[in-house]
A and B are shown apart, each in its own frame.
Chain A
Amino acid sequence: MLKIEKLHARAGDAEILKGLDLEVRPGEVHAVMGPNGSGKSTLANVLAGRPSVEVTAGKVLFEGRDLTELEPEERAREGIFLAFQYPVEIPGVSNLYFLKAALNSRRKHLGQEELDAMDFLTLAKEKAKLVEMDEALLNRAVNEGFSGGEKKRNEVLQMTVLEPKLAILDETDSGLDIDALRVVARGVNALRAPDRAMLVITHYQRLLDYIVPDVVHVLAGGRIVRSGGKELAQELEEKGYGWLTEDAA
């Protein structure tokens, strides 16, 4: 589904990714771990097409297509979803309106009929229940005045409504207490499917107790320095990143 070869990318003047390789097949959940500044978020932004991140070399293929040729909105409509580390506030735009516009742009692209307001509301309420989100938040402006936990739940809500092919979670666990973490994980696990892949970016092993990955990668110095099964996460928890980053250097 996703194939990354010798990827180099820069954000501003700094080269962050330096020859990254990664392959994710449908149905798989991959965790990407690594110390701060290792390039985890840059990887997420490359996949989603953030304009300020520039791919300088290498290949990023999504279902065989060169992702770098696509605008961010085209990637989204193709089924790439990024749960933001820092979800953005959009004052005055209701959460429901925003999400409906997002869903319908994807449905339109897929040749499906757009949902009307009533059908959409039913769907949104049902999904909100799944992530234990207060329905009142649906009518508030997008992320405006939301607590950190509410913002992250909102990301997961959007993800469950949009049903992407490839979901990228960028430190969705950061700043969450254990209850919120469970809820977020439940939302994510409910989405696991044979035709869907997930890339879970996290700093801590904690999240992986709830979202059990098929593969764990360690990102350091802009490259994947180690890959393994879920036990690698446990090992990292015990030993830290030092022994691996030294290898990378």
Chain B
Amino acid sequence: MAESHSPESLAEREYEYGFTTDVEQETLPPGLDESTVRFISAQKDEPEWLLEWRLKALRRFLELEERETEPTWAMVHYPKIDYQAISYWAAPKQQLVESLDDVDPELLSTYEKLGIPLEEQKRLAGVAVDAVFDSVSVGTTFKAELEKQGILFCSFSDAVQRWPDLIRQYLGSVVPYSDNFFACLNSAVFSDGSFAYIPKGVRCPMELSTYFRINAANTGQFERTLLVADEGAYVSYLEGCTAPMRDENQLHAAVVELVALDDAEIKYSTVQNWYPGDKDGKGGIYNFVTKRGACRGKRSKISWTQVETGSAITWKYPSCILQGDDSVGEFYSVALTANHQQADTGTKMIHLGKNTKSTILSKGISAGFGQNTYRGLVRVQPKAEGARNYSQCDSLLLGDRCGAHTFPYLEVKNSSATVEHEATTSKIGEDQLFYCRQRGISEEDAVSMIVNGFCKEVLRELPMEFAVEAQKLLGVSLEGAVG
């Protein structure tokens, strides 16, 4: 009889994007105190109020660290991080440039290796890319075209210089500097990120996109993203990431804030493929992210879609504060953990306004020794008359050494609310695999097909080109698990 394969062995595919780029770095020595924050702020020529804001965050962070209040409730395990051993600043020497011709060719070739040539994208895909290479933006495209419509889209640092009032108005308004341990750290030392503002009644004509990349060894990356959709505006924002192979763990603590005013809609899509560590669990990114959107206006809508296949550890809960009456929050998630990856991810839907609606659809896939946790909170406050939530959390297991965990928290303080929760756990069975193979489909293709089928409802929420990438990514992340 032919040798049979265990499905869990499918989970061992080498990381495809493991290369580093030889670009000179300007790096601050490891350590974190006021001088670090002052240095970063000065590098960016920031206004005094922003420096003060950072310093408040730093003091809060140092206080929390001293009291050892780094969160430990998530189902993830990692050695204690020495925050003084991290370098908080690394920037490519070449700063913001006028055109792609002025961009360091090394950087451009990195993007090409990743399959995201900027020029190609400019011409073909109609996507404006704000490419973040480590900490400083190196190229922003389509800016002029967007500005014609009054859309502001640029690096965060750039926005601080050009539209300080908007930044001051919205920065920290969704995720306060003191929000949580990692948000404090980010607020103190954030390096750069993206900013977008869509004015009243404007439908952003293209998908806005940022590619992140961590490139400096031992340098945490602290991104800050702020998107504001003014009344009646619409924007679809894409975020995708890959990182070079590294042995040291790299800390990433980003903060993303979204604000939707009356009748505005923000669609935020992420494909996250950072280095997950090797098959023995060595190395990989720690991805501790705070993402939150405020549906501040009536009938506003915020939709998070994420495909998380990378990182050694993922700690991430893209959430919605449903403040405006009739506002809508959505969370669609695929999280895949293979080898020794750990993910504790989910969402918070906070219903404050009347007739607010939220949908949660979470698909967790575990293979190898992967540990996958869904953690979600649905809170209906007393004034949220007629609030509705539907949650569905499905887990798929490959093999018998991985784990899937579901922690749904429901807090309903209004009796007119309707809250539904469904959860399933299934295994890719021998029957399914054999059925596919009996039809001539290889085991690897069968697993990829079954996993993609399992995630279909989430994947179809992604913009087309992203969905294709995500499908490939799921296949790639699970390939090699056979044999």
Interface of chain B: mostly helix, strand, loop or mixed? helix
Q: A76-B440, A90-B450, A98-B449 are in contact. Are A55 and B1 (CB under 8 A)?
A: yes
Q: A54-B1, A68-B2, A92-B453 are in contact. Are A82 and B438 (CB under 8 A)?
A: yes
Q: Could you tell me the distance between the alpha carbons of A141 and B461 in the complex, rounded to whole angstroms? A: 18
Q: Are A102 and B441 in contact (CB under 8 A)?
A: yes
- Residue among B435, B445, B454 making CB contact with A87, cutoff 8 Å: B435
- Report B332-361 residues with CB < 8 Å from chain A CB: none
**A residues within 8 A CB of B4?**
51-52
**A residues within 8 A CB of B440?**
73, 76-77, 102, 105-106, 109, 162
* Pair count A-B, CB < 8 A: 94
**A residues within 8 A CB of B431?**
88
Output the least CB separation between A29 and chain B (Å). Answer: 20
Q: Could you tell me the distance between the alpha carbons of A99 and B429 in the complex, rounded to whole angstroms? A: 20
Q: Could you tell me the distance between the alpha carbons of A50 and B438 in the complex, rounded to whole angstroms? A: 8
**B residues within 8 A CB of A123?**
none
Output the least CB separation between A83 and chain B (Å). Answer: 10
Output the least CB separation between A74 and chain B (Å). Answer: 8
Q: Could you tell me the distance between the alpha carbons of A105 and B452 in the complex, rounded to whole angstroms? A: 19
**A residues within 8 A CB of B238?**
none
A119 touches B (CB below 8 Å): no
Q: Are B450 and A105 in contact (CB under 8 A)?
A: no
A48 touches B (CB below 8 Å): yes
A71 touches B (CB below 8 Å): yes
Q: Could you tell me the distance between the alpha carbons of A148 and B5 in the complex, rounded to whole angstroms? A: 30
**B residues within 8 A CB of A158?**
439
Q: Are A101 and B449 in contact (CB under 8 A)?
A: yes
Q: A51-B4, A71-B2, A88-B432 are in contact. Are A98 and B438 (CB under 8 A)?
A: no
Q: Could you tell me the distance between the alpha carbons of A55 and B4 in the complex, rounded to whole angstroms? A: 13
Q: Are A73 and B435 in contact (CB under 8 A)?
A: no
Output the least CB separation between A44 and chain B (Å). Answer: 10
A210 touches B (CB below 8 Å): no
A236 touches B (CB below 8 Å): no
**B residues within 8 A CB of A109?**
440
B413 touches A (CB below 8 Å): no
Q: Could you tell me the distance between the alpha carbons of A106 and B437 in the complex, rounded to whole angstroms? A: 11
A222 touches B (CB below 8 Å): no
Q: Are B452 and A93 in contact (CB under 8 A)?
A: yes
Q: Which one of A46, A51, A76 has the greatest number of beta carbons of chain B within 10 Å?
A: A51
- Report A213-227 residues with CB < 8 Å from chain B CB: none
B455 touches A (CB below 8 Å): yes
- Residue among A50, A53, A73 making CB contact with B441, cutoff 8 Å: A73
Q: A92-B457, A93-B450, A141-B453 are in contact. Are A98 and B1 (CB under 8 A)?
A: no
- Report A66-81 residues with CB < 8 Å from chain B CB: 68-73, 75-77, 81
Q: Could you tell me the distance between the alpha carbons of A161 and B190 in the complex, rounded to whole angstroms? A: 58
Output the least CB separation between A16 and chain B (Å). Answer: 13
Q: Could you tell me the distance between the alpha carbons of A70 and B440 in the complex, rounded to whole angstroms? A: 12
A interface residue numbers (CB < 8 A to B): 46, 48-55, 68-73, 75-77, 81-82, 84, 87-88, 90-93, 97-99, 101-102, 105-106, 109, 141, 158, 162
**What are some 15 contacts across the A-B interface (CB < 8 A)?**
A50-B434, A52-B4, A70-B2, A75-B438, A76-B439, A82-B438, A88-B432, A90-B436, A92-B454, A93-B453, A99-B439, A101-B449, A105-B441, A105-B445, A162-B439
Q: A97-B449, A105-B439 are in contact. List 4 more A-B contacts (CB 8 A).
A: A52-B4, A71-B2, A72-B437, A73-B441
For the complex of A and B, 3 pairs with smallest distance between CB atoms: A92-B453, A51-B4, A102-B439
B interface residue numbers (CB < 8 A to A): 1-2, 4-5, 429-432, 434-443, 445, 449-450, 452-457
